[in-house]
Amino acid sequence: MATGQTVLTIGALIIFGIIAMNVRSLYVQSIVHRVDDQTTSSAMSIGWTIAEEIQSYAFNYDSLDAAFGGLDNLNDSLSRLEIRSQINELFYVTVDLSAEKELIHEQFGKTATIRVYRSEDLALKTEYRTAVVELQ
């Protein structure tokens, strides 16, 4: 009877260990997903802010190229924006401005493609496209 109880105890400990490891694994996965979601949310916020800033140049259209032209090279620190999020994570932002073209209803303007990358691994987190026309 003592041997049977010992085997049952060892079996119960093994089952408890397996359950504890599964719970820990689920908890770690939950944390990883939460951090990744927060990173993506921060990148989207940064991209949206840049898009709004570019759209504000409709009233100062002639200086759009001076402000955002040439910010299209991810690998060159002088040709990209470097922005820290609220969670102190560094993001790289590139802006590709098109040449002036007809956008809609005979209005001419430029399109901007904004890409936000995580600096750690240069992973693209979000991309926005917006258009700017000159308002007079």
pLDDT tens digits, one per residue of 10-20: 888 888 888 88
What was the pLDDT predicted at 106? Answer: 84
Name the DSSP letter for residue 98: P
What was the pLDDT predicted at 119? Answer: 92
pTM of the predicted model over 0.75 = yes
Q: Is the pLDDT of residue 38 over 80?
A: yes
pLDDT band at 78 (very low <50, low <70, confident <90, very high): very high
Instruction: Specify whether the CB–CB gap between 103 and 73 falls below 8 A.
Output: no
Residue with tokens 């570019």: 54
Q: Is the pLDDT of residue 32 over 90?
A: no
What was the pLDDT predicted at 1? Answer: 55
Q: How many CB atoms lie within 10 A of CB 97?
A: 19
pLDDT band at 105 (very low <50, low <70, confident <90, very high): confident
Q: Which of 48, 129, 31 is nearest to 83 (CA)?
A: 48
Q: Which of 124, 121, 116 is nearest to 91 (CA)?
A: 116
What was the pLDDT predicted at 35? Answer: 80
Domain that holds residue 128: 2-133
Q: What's the total number of domains in the chain?
A: 1
Which residues touch 65 (CB under 8 Å, ≥6 apart)? 97
Q: Is the pLDDT of residue 111 over 60?
A: yes
Q: Which two tokens stand for residue 104?
A: 């809609």
Half-sphere exposure of 124 (CA within 13 A, CB side): 8
